[in-house]
Amino acid sequence: MKQFYMPTRIVHGEGSLSRLKEFVGNQDHVCLVTDKTLVGIGVARKVMDLLSDIGAKCTVFSDVPPNPHEEVVEKAVTQAKKAGCNSVIALGGGSPLDVGKMVAFLLTNPGKLEEYQWDNRPTDAPMAKLINIPTTAGTGSEVTATAVIISRNTKKGIKRDDLFAMVAIVDPALMVSMPPHITSTTGIDAFTHAYEAYVGLGANPVTDAWALEAMGLLIEYLPRAYVNGQDMEARENVALAAVLAGVAMDQAGLGVIHSCSGPVASYYDVPHGLSNAVFLPYAVSYNLIAALDKHVMLAELFGMDTSGLSRREAAGLAVDAVVQFLADLEIPEGLYDYFGTDEDIPKFAQSACDMFLMKNNPRKPKPEDLIPIFEAVLKR
Ligand SMILES: [Fe+2]
């Protein structure tokens, strides 16, 4: 049994931020959930000025750190309730968007975050109006019903249909200030979402279409956005790819890459996109035989010449293509500078196998299958 559900309106394109006025009125008191960097570089101000033009009230919560904990959510909810907010705009990368979702949810639902995160408490009421405005192109959080918040020392995703935003405004003009290495690694995060959704067990024809389109756009436009951050056509298409990949991932699930990258990123504090990128070629190589036709399609998407080859040989070209793609984006081949001790490797391999996301991977590794991969990625 498969289903597809995605109720968020997506508004995309250069200048689309100006359409905010269609979704906010003068009865709104918005809690703007964002981070200090976006306040510092004036991006939050753009949103506040638009809200002021509309006549909407605005309370800013800008204390969202990378990898937010539950305390951040509780603090934001307390502030929003005290100010009398009735709606939320989440502005930023994955972290402000994830916190914003939970603030909108807890504005109308009683109790604490952990009751919903750990005890699966049912929803009392629809969440407050939520508008997601991403400023990076990668996490896809703007179109997902998932919020990842650290609780009980675990990066714990909360996934429920109540967390879909009313609208996602995806304006690439907000992304031009992203430096090249952030552009490339966040873009590869989007690529891994699409890849894992495409080859995963939860894939269906709708998610396949979104995932393939996302990967095709990233293959063409991510290198352009990397070499010239001002290339608006490239930025626009990379942002679109992140949205398509986000929807595909939310509906179809993830797999071995995010399962391996999770423990590494949390123990070593490696940026999420980078930790996914280094596992990507190994994952493609490992998954090949479990989804041969899909890897042939991936090789062809990269423009590899598969004529006259067996399906196995053609699928193998996907690995070469991915390696070249990452090299073009100057992404490091490993996380050697982050490596701790040899004892970490079996620990990471076991945690990766225990990850819920791994259930969706087309091939099921044992910890000993992953140890050589962790060694290659972590040890020079
Ligand atoms: Fe991701």
283: three-class secondary structure by DSSP: helix
Cα–Cα distance list, 208 to 4, 26, 172, 292, 334 (Å): 12, 41, 24, 15, 29
| Ligand 1 centre distance from Cα of residue 197 (Å) | 11
Query: Taking 80 as the threshold, does the pLDDT of residue 356 lie above it?
Result: yes
pLDDT digits (tens, 9 = 90+) for 69-119: 999 999 999 999 999 999 999 999 999 999 999 999 999 999 999 999 999
| Ligand 1 centre distance from Cα of residue 249 (Å) | 9
Q: What's the rounded mean pLDDT across residues 146-161?
A: 87
Average pLDDT, the chain: 95
Question: Domain spans of the chain?
Answer: 9-174, 180-378
| Ligand 1 centre distance from Cα of residue 191 (Å) | 9
Identify the CATH assignment for 9-174 out of 3.40.50.10150, 3.90.226.10, 3.40.50.1970, 1.10.357.10.
3.40.50.1970
| Ligand 1 centre distance from Cα of residue 355 (Å) | 14
In angstroms, rounded to a whole number, what is the distance separating the alpha carbons of residues 322 and 331?
11
| Ligand 1 centre distance from Cα of residue 48 (Å) | 29
Residues with Cβ within 8 Å of 213's Cβ and at least 6 positions away in sequence, in order, are 241, 244
In angstroms, rounded to a whole number, what is the distance separating the alpha carbons of residues 91 and 160?
21
pLDDT digits (tens, 9 = 90+) for 50-69: 999 999 999 999 999 988 99
Query: Taking 80 as the threshold, does the pLDDT of residue 170 lie above it?
Result: yes
Q: For residue 2, what pLDDT is reported?
A: 73
Residue 280: what residue type? Answer: L
Q: For residue 66, what pLDDT is reported?
A: 85
pTM of the full structure? 0.95
Cα–Cα distance list, 349 to 143, 264, 309, 318, 358 (Å): 30, 10, 34, 24, 12
pLDDT digits (tens, 9 = 90+) for 246-299: 999 999 999 999 999 988 987 888 889 999 999 999 999 999 999 999 999 999
Residue pair 33/90 in contact by the 8 Å Cβ criterion: yes
Query: Taking 80 as the threshold, does the pLDDT of residue 1 lie above it?
Result: no
The alpha carbon of 161 is separated from its chain's Cα centroid by a whole number of angstroms, namely: 17
Q: For residue 269, what pLDDT is reported?
A: 80
| Ligand 1 centre distance from Cα of residue 17 (Å) | 24
Query: Taking 90 as the threshold, does the pLDDT of residue 332 lie above it?
Result: yes
What are the residues facing 134 on neighbouring strands?
A: 92
pLDDT digits (tens, 9 = 90+) for 10-58: 999 999 999 999 999 999 999 999 999 999 999 999 999 999 999 999 9
pLDDT digits (tens, 9 = 90+) for 173-198: 999 989 999 999 999 999 999 999 99
Residue 106: what residue type? Answer: L
| Ligand 1 centre distance from Cα of residue 309 (Å) | 33
| Ligand 1 centre distance from Cα of residue 245 (Å) | 10
Q: Which residue has the tokens 């179809």?
A: 252
Residue pair 50/26 in contact by the 8 Å Cβ criterion: no
**DSSP per-residue string spanning 341-355:** -TTHHHHHHHHHHH-
| Ligand 1 centre distance from Cα of residue 22 (Å) | 30
> pLDDT over 70 for what percent of the chain?
100
| Ligand 1 centre distance from Cα of residue 258 (Å) | 7
Reduce the secondary structure of 186-228 to three states and give it as a string: HHHHHHHHHHHHHHCCCCCHHHHHHHHHHHHHHHHHHHHHHHC
> pLDDT over 90 for what percent of the chain?
92
> Residue 90: which H helix or E strand, with range?
strand 87-92
Q: What is the assigned CATH class of domain 180-378?
A: mainly alpha
Query: Taking 90 as the threshold, does the pLDDT of residue 153 lie above it?
Result: no
| Ligand 1 centre distance from Cα of residue 21 (Å) | 31
Q: What's the rounded mean pLDDT across residues 355-374?
A: 96
| Ligand 1 centre distance from Cα of residue 116 (Å) | 22
In the chain, beta strands by DSSP E: 9-12, 29-33, 57-61, 87-92, 129-134, 146-151, 154-159, 167-170
Q: What is the DSSP letter of 161?
A: G
